[in-house]
């Protein structure tokens, strides 16, 4: 049976992890160790709790009035195989948009078959490690300027990174 290691329960009603009201899955385990990470408790791959994917999907079915699902962490792409059926269910059955936060860059994710397979079910990716020197509290939906909010489906189709309209406001903060 497929399971995913989570840092906490499935969150609902988040307004900071993408647009609208969102469910958030906080995955446990992160290899990036960005200095001053805001979620250091999620780094240990043996921490948190292991939860059956079917149980998470059953929980999602009970949650109403959400516009999206966000995969965060931790590093969600290190648990790609388990997260694929969750992302597929959210998109196909619940008609939600699916965002993912990753310390890997879009290009790094493309180099790994399993990670790329999850990426193919994501609408928007916020990519790259958190860099303290590039932190800016004014940034929307991301922590540091190096990170990109990427329209994944367009980027895969055109084989180059296409930024999401959600990153537009972040490009003009200093004007």
Q: Does 144 bind ligand SF4 (CB under 6 A)?
A: no
Give the nearer residue to ligand SF4 in terms of CB position, either 20 or 40.
40
Binding residue for ligand SF4 (CB under 6 A) from 23, 25, 34, 118?
Answer: 34
Tell me how far, at minimum, the Cβ of 75 lies from ligand SF4, in Å.
Answer: 6
Q: Does 39 bind ligand SF4 (CB under 6 A)?
A: yes
Q: Does 74 bind ligand SF4 (CB under 6 A)?
A: yes
Closest residue by Cα to residue 119 from 137, 106, 128, 130: 106
Tell me the window of 28-36, 61-69, 132-140, 156-164 that interacts with ligand SF4 (CB under 6 A): 28-36
Give the nearer residue to ligand SF4 in terms of CB position, either 31 or 67.
31
CA dihedral over 77, 78, 79, 84, signed as positive or negative: positive
Tell me how far, at minimum, the Cβ of 4 lies from ligand SF4, in Å.
Answer: 16
Tell me how far, at minimum, the Cβ of 67 lies from ligand SF4, in Å.
Answer: 23
Binding residue for ligand SF4 (CB under 6 A) from 9, 13, 20, 33?
Answer: 33
Segment 111-130, which members bind ligand SF4 (CB under 6 A)?
129-130
Please state, in angstroms and rounded to a whole number, the distance separating the CA atoms of residues 142 and 41: 19
Could you list the residues that contact ligand SF4 (CB under 6 A)?
A: 30, 32-34, 37, 39, 42, 73-75, 103, 129-130
């Amino acid at each position: 049976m497929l399971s995913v290691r989570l840092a906490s329960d499935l969150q609902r009603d988040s307004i900071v992890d993408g647009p609208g009201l969102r469910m958030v899955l906080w995955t446990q385990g992160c290899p990036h160790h960005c200095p001053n990470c805001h979620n250091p408790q999620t780094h240990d791959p043996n921490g948190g709790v292991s939860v059956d994917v079917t149980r998470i999907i059953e929980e999602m079915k009970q949650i109403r009035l959400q516009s999206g699902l966000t995969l965060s962490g931790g590093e969600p792409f290190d648990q790609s195989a388990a997260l694929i059926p969750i992302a597929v269910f959210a998109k196909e059955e619940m008609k939600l948009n699916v965002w993912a936060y990753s310390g890997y860059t879009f290009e790094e994710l493309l180099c790994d078959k399993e990670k790329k397979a999850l990426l193919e079910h994501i609408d928007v990716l916020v990519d790259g490690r958190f860099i303290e020197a590039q932190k800016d509290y004014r940034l929307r939906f991301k922590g540091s300027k190096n990170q990109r909010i990427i329209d994944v489906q367009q980027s895969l189709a055109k084989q180059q990174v296409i930024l999401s309209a959600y990153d537009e406001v972040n490009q003009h903060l200093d004007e």
